[in-house]
A and B are shown apart, each in its own frame.
Chain A
Amino acid sequence: MYLGQPLTRAGRWTRAGITSGPAALWLGIFLVLPLAAILAISFLTRGEYGGVELRFTFDSYKRLAGFGELGFDSLYPVVLGRSLALGMATAVLCLAAALPLAFFIARLSERYKGAALTLVVIPFWTNLLIRTYAWQILFSPNSWLTIAAHSLGIGTAGEALYPGMLAVLTGMVCDFLPFMVLPLYASVEKMDWTLAEAAADLGADRWRVFRHALLPQIWPGLGAGFILVFLPATGQFVIPDLLGGAKTAMLGNVIQQQFASSRDWPFGSAIAAVALLLVLVGLAIFQRKGSKHEVLP
């Protein structure tokens, strides 16, 4: 079929079906259907022995908001908030680390660029558990890293750095850094540096050169990196478990619990649905803010 020729109405539908059909089918089976199922289950009643009963109710959402059968309990709102906060903290820390790194790599000579990018990606190829256990060893009471940290005044002398918030954040940043560095690097790499010169020439100091000439150019990469880190970091629970001492419930392990040991599918689905909603709201805010910085091709 020659794709350039004018088509009849039926022909257009055929073409649309051939070109976008497979993708639509894929998305329908693997994205829309499961999401719809989760949303539907979250409004149903928990079955006696697991599974669900077809009775519509808002109970799961009420429980999630803290109004369960036994009166107000802040556990679940706190878990939700904690997970979002951890995701946000991870994304912000990754951004702080990745921004200078991306600029540094982009300004290296061609010879060293490849090597530097490989070094960034290598941790990504290592198993998450092995990396996390490695941090446990490094943060143990007598490791050189702990001793060095103590001598710098970080933590209490004689105590391990893990389990603790510092260990969790270190592990998280270590895990998610490549997802921030790579998109940022891609936009720094194709940056038009004469815009920075133009801004300086027009009277902008260093900060304002960055703010007005460079930041708008890397905004798309920054947004992509933020999303790539924030979303999975919100659901991450292995690292908080292993480095945080398995004392703090996170979104990920609460959901997992509901489907496995508690056998409360509707509640697990409700948590997942609300988490998804909150993340989407966050993204919408981010995108609206970002559209002001939109860089035309």
Chain B
Amino acid sequence: MQGERHLEPQECSVPLAVEVVSLLRQFGSVVALSGVSLEIRKGEFFSLLGPSGCGKTTLLRVIAGLDLPDGGLIKISGRDASEIPAHRRPVNTVFQSYALFPHLTVSDNIAFGLRMKKIAAAEIADRVQRVLALMQITELATRKPAQLSGGQKQRVALARALVNEPEVLLLDEPLGALDLQLRRQLQVELHQLQRKLGITFIMVTHDQEEALVMSDRIAVMNAGKIEQLGSAREIYERPRTRFVAQFIGQCNLFKADVRPTNNGDILARTELGEFSVSNVSKDPTRPGSFVAIRPEKIQLLGGATCGVKNSFTAHIEGFTYCGAETRYRLLAGQQTVNVVVMNREASAVFQPGETVQCLLPAEHLILLDA
């Protein structure tokens, strides 16, 4: 099977940084990884996204060599790494708690990895200086970790890993302990840094916004499995499972009977009416029994206008004003529907109690497995 894959020219042209095949990891009766296979390309920013306990951190630790899998294969830069202990793998980790050595100064912390590799003192000093400058923390060099703020510790942890020039940098919830403002700023910085250095980054996060903003590709994990792998846009616009649709952003789900029509479209029959679905991924082998749509894709039309295709009538229950947008809560039959409307006007367009027509554009409807 692997041989077949390598015949495809497109896959051959992109060298792989990390390849894992059918990884298994169990803690007692808890399955952390149940047969995960994954290919991470050289130089990409890859995110493992999922709720806590989905196995994403275990996968990262297995790649780092800090945890041993019960089964499966790991290749780093094409070499089988299963038997290589953590301290000899060409990867470095930025830990969630930073794990800076409290008894060492910032520059000694950063020099640690180079010292372990017995690199000449002059070169160590030079490389530490360069990475201090890169991370803009030169003035912190002589401080101890206890004298640093959260954001500064984060930079030191990054510098300590990057100074080793690893083939792959592993980041475990790197921004998890920081406040929102700083997180937003560091998201951008981290992204730019990765572009500048060209090192493969693998980041674990439970924050969907973080993953969407920073990553080239995202693997959404749930219960020890990869639910979907793709670019941020693919994962948001074309989620393949209910879990992905609901974990990333908000999603309105309607139970549906799905059947193909003559013109190639798909017709989904729900309690609220029949909707045609146009943008179906190329192999609808397992026609879903749910049809879904993101709240901002629904168009609201004033008044109960009958006869509009792909629409249903609903009542406005209430709304929340969020500055840039307004979030409406609608009731259609028994079902609650969430709709997000950008605030182009200064005043609210719809009031609670009003009857509106909800238009579901066929290209934005998504078919999902049960």
- For A294, what are the chain B residues with a Cβ–Cβ distance below 8 Å? 103
Indicate if B97 sits at the interface (CB-CB under 8 A).
Answer: yes
Instruction: State the main secondary structure of chain A at its contact with B.
Output: helix
Flag if B103 contacts A194 (CB, 8 Å).
Answer: no
C-alpha gap A294/B66 in the complex (Å)? 27
Q: Which residue of A lies closest to B66 (CB)?
A: A197
Partner among B85, B86, B93, B101 whose Cβ is within 8 Å of the Cβ of A212: B101
Smallest Cβ-Cβ distance to A192: which chain B residue: B99
Nearest CB of B to A84, in Å: 30
Contact: B87 with A200, CB < 8 Å? yes
How far apart are B113's CB and chain A's nearest CB, in angstroms? 4
B101 engages A201 (CB within 8 Å): no
Question: Nearest chain-B residue to A197 (Cβ)?
Answer: B66
- Interface residues on chain B, size class: 20 to 34
> Is A202 in contact with chain B by the CB < 8 A criterion?
yes
Distance in angstroms from B73 CB to nearest chain A CB is 21
21 interchain pairs, CB-CB under 8 A: A194-B99, A197-B95, A197-B99, A198-B93, A199-B101, A199-B112, A200-B66, A200-B85, A200-B87, A201-B87, A201-B91, A202-B113, A202-B164, A203-B87, A203-B116, A205-B87, A208-B116, A212-B112, A213-B101, A294-B103, A296-B146
Q: Report A141-200 residues with CB < 8 Å from chain B CB.
A: 192, 194-195, 197-200
The answer to whether B160 has its CB under 8 Å from any CB of chain A is yes
Cross-chain contact B164 with A203 (CB below 8 angstroms): yes
Q: Min CB distance, B177 to chain A, in Å?
A: 13
Nearest CB of B to A264, in Å: 49
> How many angstroms between the C-alpha atoms of A201 and B91 in the bound complex?
8
Q: Per-residue 0/1 for B243-260: is the Cβ within 8 Å of any A Cβ (1 yes, 0 no)?
A: 000000000000000000
Query: Is B92 touching A201 in the complex (CB atoms < 8 A)?
Result: yes
Nearest first, the 7 A-B pairs at minimum CB distance are A202-B113, A203-B116, A198-B99, A194-B99, A296-B146, A200-B86, A216-B103
Q: Which of these, B85, B103, B116, B146, contacts A202 with CB under 8 Å?
A: B116
Q: Is A93 part of the binding interface, using a Cβ–Cβ cutoff of 8 Å?
A: no
Most buried by B among A197, A202, A296: A202
> Contact flags (1/0) for B269-288 with A, using CB distance below 8 Å?
00000000000000000000
**A204: interface (CB < 8 Å):** yes
- A194 lies within 8 A of B97 (CB): yes
Interchain CB contact under 8 A, B112 and A296: no
Residues of chain B at the chain A interface (Cβ within 8 Å): 64-66, 85-88, 91-93, 95, 97, 99-103, 112-113, 116-117, 144-146, 160-161, 164
Q: A198-B93, A203-B164, A213-B101 are in contact. List 20 more A-B contacts (CB 8 A).
A: A192-B97, A197-B86, A197-B95, A199-B112, A199-B116, A200-B85, A200-B87, A201-B65, A202-B87, A202-B112, A202-B161, A203-B117, A204-B87, A208-B116, A212-B101, A216-B101, A293-B103, A295-B102, A296-B102, A296-B144
Given A194-B99, A195-B99, A295-B102, do A201 and B86 touch, yes or no (CB 8 Å)? yes
- For B91, list chain A residues within 8 Å (CB): 201
CA distance A295 to B103 in the complex (A): 5
Contact flag A203-B113 (CB < 8 Å), given A195-B101, A198-B95, A294-B103 = yes
> What is the CA–CA distance of A203 and B146 in the complex, to the nearest angstrom?
24
A4 at the interface (CB under 8 A from B): no
Within 8 Å of chain B (Cβ to Cβ): is A297?
yes
Question: Which one of A194, A201, A205 has the greatest number of beta carbons of chain B within 10 Å?
Answer: A201
Chain A residues with Cβ under 8 A from B144's Cβ? 296
> Can you name the residue of chain B whose Cβ is closest to the Cβ of A216?
B103
Contact residues in B for A192 (Cβ distance below 8 Å): 97, 99
- A199–B116 alpha-carbon span in the complex (Å): 9
By a CB distance below 8 angstroms, the chain A residues around B86 are 197, 200-201
Q: How far is the CA of A296 from the CA of B112 in the complex (A)?
A: 18
Which residues of A lie under 8 Å from residue B116 when comparing CB positions?
Answer: 199, 202-204, 208
Cβ B101 vs Cβ A198 within 8 A: yes
Complex Cα spacing A212 to B102, Å: 11
From residue A109, how far is it (CB to closest CB) to chain B in Å?
12
Chain B: minimal CB distance from A150 (Å): 43
Instruction: Note all chain B residues with C-beta closer than 8 A to A209.
Output: 87
Find chain A residues with CB under 8 A from B100 CB. 198
CB distance from A216 to the nearest CB of B (A): 4
Provided the pairs A197-B95, A197-B99, A198-B95 are in contact, do residues A296 and B87 lie with their beta carbons within 8 angstroms?
no
B161 CB contacts on chain A under 8 angstroms? 201-202
CB distance from B79 to the nearest CB of A (A): 17
Alpha-carbon distance between A293 and B93 when the two chains are bound, in angstroms: 25
